[in-house]
With several copies, the nearest count.
Chain A
Amino acid sequence: MAVRVQQDDFDVGAESRALQGPAVGAIALFVGTVRSLSEDDSVTAMTLEHYPGMTEAEISRIEDEARARWPLLGVTVVHRVGRLLAGEQIVLVAVSSAHRQAAFDAAQYMMDFLKTDAPFWKAEERGDQLSWVEARQSDNDAHAKWTQE
């Protein structure tokens, strides 16, 4: 299945292999991970909440839009939910195409829209403090650049 929302970890190598095929020349992959160090910050874990049903629908909609823009051969999105420790994998977007430009652009497009449209929320743990992560303006800007073209 192209879109999966799951607690379990994923295997980047297996997902890449699953996208190979006779017409495929390019596979672009993006892996997001839990950053524990940022400036003077130290995050030990985070919990990802989502909106079951809407999440899958939104990611599928984003996939459809990417497929309408670029000649893609395969698309895989895996997004984890629940509690994840520092350093763990959070999200995978993987796209295959005949040529690299389409694969790169589509992977980036899907990540940019996933960041602004897919209903996930992160709460970070610092010691025994849990705090909801605020949305970043840079994510809105990244989304906006695709609609200004």
Chain B
Amino acid sequence: MSDEMINVLYFAWMREHTGTASEQIALPDGAQTVGDLMPTLMARSAGHALALKNMAAVRVAINRSHGGLKTPVAAGDEIAFFPPVTGG
């Protein structure tokens, strides 16, 4: 494990499943994209695994811009996971 950290946010029902709105995690060794984070995140709890198991139903933002599993990540990034939006 590197000790470079990223900040991970969860919203709406994903926040309820993971039990947290925000957590700091170490950037996994060799992780270059959002997709590379998934095994680490899903291993954190049964709730995390449930929240993240169907990524087709999940949206991702990197540093407050919409992205996806292939978006690059780096230390210090803010990665947010949330359901499709329902405002307006």
B-contacting residues of A (Cβ < 8 Å)? 32, 48-51, 53-54, 57-58, 79, 90-91, 100, 111, 114-123, 132-136, 139
Consensus secondary structure, chain A interface: mixed
Are A121 and B11 in contact, CB atoms less than 8 angstroms apart? yes
B22 CB to nearest A CB, Å: 11
Which residues of chain B have C-beta atoms less than 8 A from A118's C-beta? 85, 87-88
Are A120 and B85 in contact, CB atoms less than 8 angstroms apart? yes
Per-residue A-contact encoding for B21-44, CB less than 8 Å = 1, 0 else: 000000000000000000000000
Q: Does B86 make an interface contact (CB < 8 A)?
A: yes
Most buried by A among B13, B80, B85, B88: B88
Per-residue A-contact encoding for B52-68, CB less than 8 Å = 1, 0 else: 00000000010011100
| Total cross-chain contacts (CB, 8 A) | 72
**Known contacts A49-B11, A54-B80; is-contact A121 B64 (Cβ 8 Å):** no
Which residues of chain A have C-beta atoms less than 8 A from B12's C-beta? 49, 121, 123, 132
**Known contacts A57-B64, A119-B82; is-contact A51 B9 (Cβ 8 Å):** yes
Complex Cα–Cα for A135 and B82 (A)? 12
Tell me which of A54, A79, A122 contacts B64 (CB under 8 A): A54
**Contact size range, B:** 10 to 19
Which residues of chain A have C-beta atoms less than 8 A from B85's C-beta? 115-121, 135
A-contacting residues of B (Cβ < 8 Å)? 9, 11-13, 61, 64-66, 80, 82-88
A53 CB to nearest B CB, Å: 6
Are A50 and B87 in contact, CB atoms less than 8 angstroms apart? yes
Are B80 and A51 in contact, CB atoms less than 8 angstroms apart? yes
A19 CB to nearest B CB, Å: 18
Complex Cα–Cα for A115 and B88 (A)? 5
